[in-house]
Amino acid sequence: MKLSPVGQLIALDDIGVDRGGIPVLRGVNLNLDESRVVGVAGLNGSGKTTLLRLIATLLAPSSGAGRVLDKELGSPGVYDVRDKIGMISHTPAILPELTQRENLVHFSKLSGADTGQVEKLLQVVGLDEAADRRADASSFGMQRRVEVARLLMTNPMVLLLDEAFSGLDSEAQELIGALIGRTRSKGGVVVMVSHDATQLRGHADRVLNLRSGRLEEMS
């Protein structure tokens, strides 16, 4: 299988992904150079989350080939670039028993980021007054803000957003918009998926449609 040129941050070539014997993605091609923001729209169950987890190197392709940050998908080399990939999942990925501040300190220690940034980041995302509130006693929007702070701290080159704007107030949506802008300005790429194509058009250079596991240009 011929791979797309080395150097592109994301290069997917005729990729298929099966889950439990069922094809979820089929013949997916996607090439993204630096500073690109692409949106992928699709109905529920169309394979959007699987596409993001594939790009995050958390899933290996069942067919075809691809590279993310110059590492071949499905090879052990991807372990070295995972810390350069950031993702906001459909469900907030935080530790519910910890406070917002403790979550960020924990993430900074594990990723090797500067723990001293935590207080500033709590202010940036507007959580400074709720920093000592436990995550499981916080609203969905607050949990999302913790995720935004984590991604501002880890500075990913590949930013993946799974329905990241859903259920957020305008201020929190602006924060995610700022995160997208920052990733783009540093030369990174952003892939965002949503069932709402209008929302994607507000942030993406290009919007694609994922229908029955196939990626198509939006008509």
Partner 1 sequence: MSFWNQAGEISRIDLMVERRVGDVFRIIIPFAIVSLLVFPLALGVDLTGISLIGPAVFWALGILFGMQVALRQAANDSVEKRDLYALLGVDPAARFVGRAMSGSVLMIGFLAALLAAMIILYSPGLPDGWVGPMIAASVLMAIGLTELGTLAGEVTAGLRNRNALASLIVAPLALPLVIGASQVLEALSSSAGILPWILLLAATDLALAVAGVGLARPLEEASR
- Does the footprint of partner 1 cover residue 135 (CB under 8 A)? no
Residues in the chain: 219
**DSSP-based three-state secondary structure for 163:** coil
CB 174 → partner 1: shortest distance, Å? 24
Instruction: Using the rule CB under 8 A, give the single segment among 101-109, 166-174, 192-200, 209-217 that binds partner 1.
Output: 101-109
- Does the footprint of partner 1 cover residue 75 (CB under 8 A)? no
Residue spans of beta strands (DSSP E) within 20-154: 22-32, 37-41, 63-68, 71-72, 85-88
Rounded Cα gap, residues 142 and 131, in angstroms:
10
- Does the footprint of partner 1 cover residue 82 (CB under 8 A)? yes
Rounded Cα gap, residues 114 and 109, in angstroms:
8
CB 82 → partner 1: shortest distance, Å? 5
| Nearest in space to 113 (alpha carbons), one of 150, 160, 158 | 150
Closer residue to partner 1 (CB): 41 or 94: 94
Instruction: Using the rule CB under 8 A, give the single segment among 5-13, 25-33, 56-64, 208-216 that binds partner 1.
Output: 56-64
Residue 146 parent element (H or E): helix 140-154
- Does the footprint of partner 1 cover residue 89 (CB under 8 A)? yes
**Number of other CB atoms surrounding residue 186 within 10 Å:** 12
- Does the footprint of partner 1 cover residue 68 (CB under 8 A)? no
- Does the footprint of partner 1 cover residue 112 (CB under 8 A)? yes
Centroid of chain to Cα 189: 10
Rounded Cα gap, residues 140 and 142, in angstroms:
5
- Does the footprint of partner 1 cover residue 168 (CB under 8 A)? no
Do 146 and 132 contact (CB within 8 A), yes or no?
Answer: no
- Does the footprint of partner 1 cover residue 86 (CB under 8 A)? yes
Q: Which of 14, 18, 83, 119 binds partner 1 (CB under 8 A)?
A: 83
Q: Which of 24, 107, 173, 188 binds partner 1 (CB under 8 A)?
A: 107
Binding site for partner 1 (CB under 8 A): 53, 56, 58-60, 79, 82-83, 85-87, 89, 91-95, 97-98, 102, 106-107, 109-112, 154
